[in-house]
Every structure is written in C-alpha cells, then in structure tokens.
Amino acid sequence: KATCHNKNLINCFDFHPEENTTVKNNGNMRTGVGLLFWVITGLDFVVCVLQVFNDPIHGHMELHPLLVKIIDTPQFQRLRNIKQLGGAYFVYPGASHNRFEHSIGVAHLAGQLGQALKTKQPGLNITNRDILCVQIAGLCHDLGHGPFSHLFDAMFIPRARPDMREWKHETASLAMFDHLVESNGLEVVMEQYGLIPSEDLTFIKEMIHTDNNNDQESPQWPYEGRTEDKSFLYEIVSNKENGIDVDKFDYFARDCYHLGVQINFDYRRFLKFARVCEVDGRKHICVRDKEEDNMTEMFHTRLCLHRRAYQHKVTKIIETMITDAFLKADSVENNESTITIYKAIDGKTESTEKKTFRLSKAIDDMEAYTKLTDAVFEQILNSTSEGLKDARHILRRIITRKLYRFLGETRLDDPTEIKKLDTIKMDYGMKREDPIDHLYFYSKHNTTRAFKRKRCQVSRIRPTCFSERLVRFVCKKTDLKADPKADPRAEFKKWCKAKGFPEYQVIFINKLLNI
C-alpha cells in the first residue's frame, strides 16, 4: 500500500508489495518486501508503505510508518518491560503480556474504527490526518505507566509521595509523549507525513488525557485540537461519555486470552454497527439498538476481570508486598535501585553531570523515568546492599511463596461508613450507575436519530446494583500459630462485629494489624 501527497507524481512508481523492493534513498540502499518506507527528498511527497505486525489477538496489523517511527524509540520500547497486569503474573502464569503489545493493539483498533466511520459516513469529513492522529493517541496513551502498571500510580506513589496523591499515569503519558517527540526529532517527520504539529500534537494529547472534568458536558467546546463538529473523535481512544473505547476493546480481549478466561463480548460487532449521530449539537458515536446485550456483556466482562484477576485476593497481596518493598528501597539514598542518568550541562553533550533519582522521584524527570521498568524488582532482589536488606527480604518472600496471610473480607453497603481504609472497588465502569444508561443507540429505521434506553425498556432480568466495595484483611506474618496470644482472625471477626459488618471470605487494609 502506498500513498502520495502529490497526485501529479503518484504514477511515477509501481509498487508490488508481494515482490522484493530495493530503493535508493540519499545513497543508502534499503531492501524489503513492500513493508518498508522511505522519504524521497527534493520532491513534494512521501511514499508510505505500511508495516505488518502479527498479533495473536488481532492477526495481521498494518501500521503507518510514522507509528513505526514512534515504536522504534527508547520511550516506547520501554513498555516491553512493564507487565500489563502487574502482580497478576505471579498468580496467572500466562499473564506475561506487556504494555508494548497492548498499545500497538489500541493503535490498530483506533485506525479500524476511524476508517469504518469514514467509509460509512463520508459526510463526517474524517481525514487520513485525523485517523493518523487518533492512532498515535492510541499508541501513546500508556507511555506513562510505571513498574507493574497500576501498582505504581495507584499504590506506590500515593504512599511514597503524599504530595502527589493525585498523580496518575495519564499525567506521565503526556510528559513522556512530549519527551519522545522532542528527543527523537519527530516533529519534522510528522510534517513529512502531512501532520501539522502546532495543531495535531495538541489534539493527540487531548485524546490521551485532559485535566478538565466532564469535558463532554460543558456547554462550551473545551478542546483546541479539533473543532466541535469532530467531537466524536475524542470518544475513540478514551471515551469519557460512557467508557466504550478501543482501549478496553484491546485489553479485554488480550487479558482474557492470556489469563485463559472466556470472553463473550465481541468488539468486532461494535466496529460493524457504530455510527455517528448528533445529540444536542454534538456528535457522538452510537451503536445499533440490537447491540444492547453485546454492550452489556462488555461491562460485565470488565467486572468479571476485576473479580477474577485484577482484584484477585492473592494478586493484591503480592502487589501490596511489592509496594512495601519499593517503599523500603525508596527510603534508602544511593542504593542499587536508584536510577542514574547523565544530563548535559548547558546543552553541551560533551559536558555532563551524573544525577540519581529514587524510585518515587523518577516521575519528575522523563529521562530518568524512561529507565524505570519492572526490572527494578530484579535489581532489588539481586542486590547486595545492606540498605536494601528489608526490601530484598520481602521480594524473596514473594519468590518463595511466603506471602502475607489472607484473613478475610467484608462488604461495605455504604462507602462513607468507614474512612482512612483502602477499599476494593467493583463496578461496571460508571460507579453506581448503569453504563447502558449513558449509551446512545440508533435504529435501522432511522440511522441519524440517537436515543437512550428508557428504564421501562430495559429487561427485568438485568442487574439493578452496579457497584460494591470490599475491605480485605491480611496479616504480614506467615505462621499465625507462632504467637498463641495473637489471633488475627479473631481480631478480624471482632472488628466486623463491632462495625456491624458481615464476614466474608475475600482484600486488605495496609498495616491494619501491627503484627
């Protein structure tokens, strides 16, 4: 496949992707099988040959050469070493996949959905430039994840940096994306492929994350990258309207595949039946009314994955232990877990100074953060530093399966009943609300009018409660019988009885029991 930005010259080349192709570019010979790309200088166009990636979830994925340029950077390659499911790999042996392949999958699906809407509705004026920007946003949306993914920003940073409790990986994704573009000189490459960096970089970052809350509900258009007539583009990668986006499409399918869990939701049907309709002056992505059950299954899949894997009691215990180890390592200056970089002084590469960052401080410098991956686990585990003795001991307990002991769990009917406790949240994605109530449908009789389901139209066998909170208890001692005077299980039962909570067997409160 080849595209040319100068139609007068498009017939100058005859491409046969199935044949070997050799091209001379600036004196360099490059040989491939129709999968390489090159920039011909001195002419008014860029030849694009899509590169094929073989994926176990989506099959053969064809990616634009600009996406390949981004993939081939240290900032993106870093995602090869960050587990998608964090500590779940210690529970599910197949959950070894990383953020790297997930991000490529999201870029692929973003392109598929964008192209499907463009083909079905030419009046939307979706350009190839729009689709490429959406794909870049999908590719780069997880650049900011730290070691073991959500463990880092949800469990470690809030305790290591109380002043940064609101810090999320999306915030780091924006900073890392800026660092990626600047350090690799990609603005020039983007221009060569028809993008306008002054507009499109803003658009891409707005799709990755925005600090504005309820952007879509604002009476005034809150974005700068694209005008309001293309509001639907902001719902492809990260949908704040109802949570249905290609990010979830990929990680649901990918996580279920690697966990060995059956999935009933079929994202391909959404791609087939998605259309854009106008609602109150704004355009939204809608789906056929007959797809209600399929979309309900999507949100149920989310809940099942949280119950069976993401919030699995042993997964959370192991992630608590990793967090405790990281906190102990973080409190020691200049140890084997610190990140060392060499910064240029006054912009002169030949003059550098050595700078070290503790784990919790690496988020302040993207060059240091680029070096922070899951490998820090092994660095601590194999260290010989006396200062890392306590952290090393905790990680060795994980390896030898001497885990914190699970005592039990209780369910909270009202999350405000108890404060200063870490609770486990289980829901369908919209807290206490039914996410289907936020989804727009259209019918085959009128594909331009969007509507929401009325409560009287919803099946009576659908659930009426969509969220719950759990409190789990663990003991950091492995042998509960070692001290006959201390009975953690009895303490747990006594606590539940005093609070009027029922006893269930299921996570934890950090340091609830000081034993």
Tell me the per-residue pLDDT of 176-188, one tens digit each, with 9 for 90 and over.
999 999 999 999 9
Which residues lie across from 30 on neighbouring strands? Answer: 23
C-alpha–C-alpha distance, residues 514 and 495, integer Å? 14
The pLDDT score that the predictor gives to residue 475 is 83
Residue 394 CA to residue 397 CA, distance in Å, equals 5
Q: Which candidate in 108, 169, 258, 284 is catalytic?
A: 169
**Residue 312 annotated among the catalytic residues of the structure:** no
Summarize pLDDT for 17-71 with one digit per residue, the tens: 333 333 334 433 333 333 444 444 343 455 678 899 999 999 999 999 999 999 9
The SS3 call for residue 30 is: strand
Is residue 284's pLDDT more than 70? yes
Confidence of residue 8 (pLDDT cuts 50, 70, 90): very low
User: CA torsion sign, 238 to 239 to 240 to 244?
Assistant: negative
Q: What totals of helices (H) and strands (E) does the chain contain, helices first?
A: 17, 13
* Percentage of the chain exceeding pLDDT 90: 59
Residues 6+ apart with CB under 8 A from 338: 356, 357, 358, 359
β 405-412/467-475 pair status? antiparallel
Residue 2 CA, chain-centre distance (Å), reads 31
The answer, yes or no, to whether residue 474 has pLDDT greater than 90, is no
Q: What is the tens place of the pLDDT at every residue in 295-316? A: 989 998 999 999 999 999 999 9
Residue 194: strand, helix, or coil: coil
- What length is written for the chain? 515
pLDDT at 245: 95
